Structure formats: structure tokens, C-alpha cells
């Protein structure tokens, strides 16, 4: 059974070596946490050009991916280390697909995209090469839009409802980051799913130029 292991909230903190601040440093929270269509109440989202918004309101990361990273890095990683809002156990993170629903108590989340690692993430991990390493690992976690707001708390069961249409996994999407020429048939398949609006616009533009 899948379970919500941790709910993680970030407060503004300086980015190492820079004057700007970030909300990537997230810590587990006790008790009920409210979820709106913009994300978790109280969670700091500072760079709204690249983070937040309704199509990436909540970021999920999965215990099986944490276990893999702990083995690779030789140290146990606490929930929230990767800046996720929700740490979920009992799910194969790499098989999560666009359009999958995660249902936790009254809250319904819909997967829209993978996570693209950035230099702030690398700085948080204390390794300037970590963004590249994260990309190569193919374990991106999942951004979600909030279909039904509500509240939940750590320890609750999680119900995963797979998307009934085309299965486009977050790992597949991540592998295409930086690819200049994406197969037209793949983009057409992807456009039948509830993609993040930015990816949808990108694929529509690419296809328009091809045809």
C-alpha cells in the first residue's frame, strides 16, 4: 500500500554562494496541512518564473528513489532533501506517468510533468555537478496540479489511479530535456495527456513547424 511518509514545507533561506533566497530547503511538518490549487499553505515559492503555478503546485518524490540515492551517495537522505512537498512510499517513481492521480484523503493531485534539475538544486546538494547527475539517474519525481484541494497529514494512505490514456512516464519526459529534435509521434501521443501547459505549448509549436 502506498503511504504519505512526509509533508515538507520550506521557508526562505539564502542560496549558498549567492545573494538570492530559495524555498528548496524543506522540513517535515506535523499535523494537518492545507492544500490549495497553488500548493501547500505556508510553503515558500520564491522564483515563480521557474517554480510554482497551478501546473506544478505540488512536487512529489518517492521513497524507492530516495533508497537508490542513499545507496549511491553512501548516506541516508531525510525526507525533503530534494525539495519535494510530499514524500511517498510504496510507489515506483520511475513508472509514474503524466495524468496519474494521487488521492490522499480528500485531496486529488494530477501528474503534469517531471522535475528538471537546476543549479539551485545543485547548490542545495553541495555539488555543482549534481544537476547533471540527477538528470542522468532518470529519477525525476513528479510535479502535480491540484484537482481537488483539501487537507491531509503524514501517515495517510495514498491511492494511485493510473491515467487511462497514453502512458508517458516522468522518466521518459526527463530523458528528453535538452533534446532538439523530438519524435513527432511521441509529441502527438504526449499531447493527448494532461501535460504541463509549457510543455504542451512547446510541443504544439514544434509540430506546427513540422507540418
So what's the pLDDT on residue 46?
66
Read off the pLDDT of each residue in 83-103 and give the average, rounded to a whole number. Answer: 97
3-state helix, strand, coil in the chain (%, to 5): 30, 30, 45
Q: How many CA atoms lie within 13 A of 169 on its CB side?
A: 12
Q: What is the pLDDT of residues 137-153, one digit of tens each?
A: 999 999 999 999 999 99
So what's the pLDDT on residue 18?
75
So what's the pLDDT on residue 153?
97
Residue 206 in domain: no
User: DSSP strand E in the chain: where?
Assistant: 2-10, 13-14, 21-22, 26-28, 33-36, 39-40, 58-62, 86-89, 101-104, 107-113, 142-148, 150-152, 157-161
Number of domains in the chain: 1
Q: Is the pLDDT of residue 94 over 70?
A: yes
- The distance in angstroms from the start CA to the end CA of the chain is 45
Residue 166 in domain: yes
So what's the pLDDT on residue 171?
97
Distance, in Å, from the CA atom of 80 to the CA atom of 7, rounded to the nearest integer, reads 8
Distance, in Å, from the CA atom of 106 to the CA atom of 181, rounded to the nearest integer, reads 41
Residue 67 in domain: yes
CATH number for the domain that contains residue 102: 2.40.33.20
Residue 210 in domain: no
C-alpha cell at 115: 522535475
So what's the pLDDT on residue 204?
97
Dihedrals phi, psi of 13, to nearest 5 degrees: -140, 150
Residue 193 in domain: no
> Which residues are within 8 A (CB) of 123 and not within 5 positions of it... i.e. 6 or more apart?
15, 16, 17, 18
Instruction: Tell me what the pLDDT averaged over the chain comes to.
Output: 94
Q: Is the pLDDT of residue 65 over 70?
A: yes
So what's the pLDDT on residue 50?
67
Which range marks the domain in which residue 58 is found? 2-177
Residue 23 in domain: yes
Read off the pLDDT of each residue in 118-124 and give the average, rounded to a whole number. Answer: 90
Residue 6 in domain: yes
Q: Which helix (H) or strand (E) holds 172?
A: helix 170-175
Residue 192 in domain: no
% residues pLDDT > 70 (the chain):
98
Q: What is the pLDDT of residues 8-64, one digit of tens each?
A: 999 988 888 777 888 899 999 999 999 999 999 999 886 677 677 899 999 999 999
So what's the pLDDT on residue 168?
98
So what's the pLDDT on residue 19?
73
Amino acid at each position: 500500500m502506498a503511504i504519505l511518509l512526509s509533508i515538507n514545507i520550506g521557508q526562505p533561506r539564502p542560496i549558498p554562494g549567492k545573494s538570492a533566497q530559495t524555498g528548496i530547503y524543506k522540513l517535515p511538518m506535523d499535523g494537518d496541512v492545507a492544500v490549495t490549487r497553488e500548493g501547500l499553505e505556508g510553503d515558500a515559492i520564491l522564483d515563480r518564473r521557474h517554480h510554482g503555478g497551478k501546473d506544478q503546485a505540488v512536487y512529489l518524490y518517492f521513497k524507492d528513489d530516495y533508497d537508490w540515492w542513499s545507496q549511491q551517495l553512501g548516506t541516508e537522505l531525510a525526507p525533503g532533501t530534494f525539495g519535494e512537498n510530499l514524500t511517498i512510499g510504496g510507489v515506483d517513481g520511475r513508472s509514474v506517468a503524466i495524468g496519474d492521480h494521487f488521492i490522499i484523503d480528500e485531496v486529488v493531485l494530477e501528474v503534469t510533468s517531471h522535475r528538471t534539475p537546476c543549479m539551485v538544486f545543485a547548490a542545495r546538494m553541495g555539488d555543482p555537478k549534481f544537476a547533471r547527475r540527477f538528470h542522468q539517474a532518470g529519477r525525476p519525481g513528479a510535479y502535480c496540479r491540484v484537482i481537488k484541494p483539501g487537507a491531509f497529514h503524514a501517515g495517510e494512505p495514498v491511492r494511485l489511479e493510473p491515467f487511462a490514456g497514453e502512458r508517458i512516464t516522468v522518466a521518459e519526459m526527463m530523458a528528453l530535456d535538452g533534446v532538439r529534435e523530438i519524435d513527432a509521434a511521441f509529441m502527438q501521443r504526449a499531447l493527448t495527456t494532461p501535460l504541463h501547459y509549457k510543455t504542451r505549448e512547446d510541443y504544439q509549436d514544434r509540430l506546427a513547424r513540422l507540418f
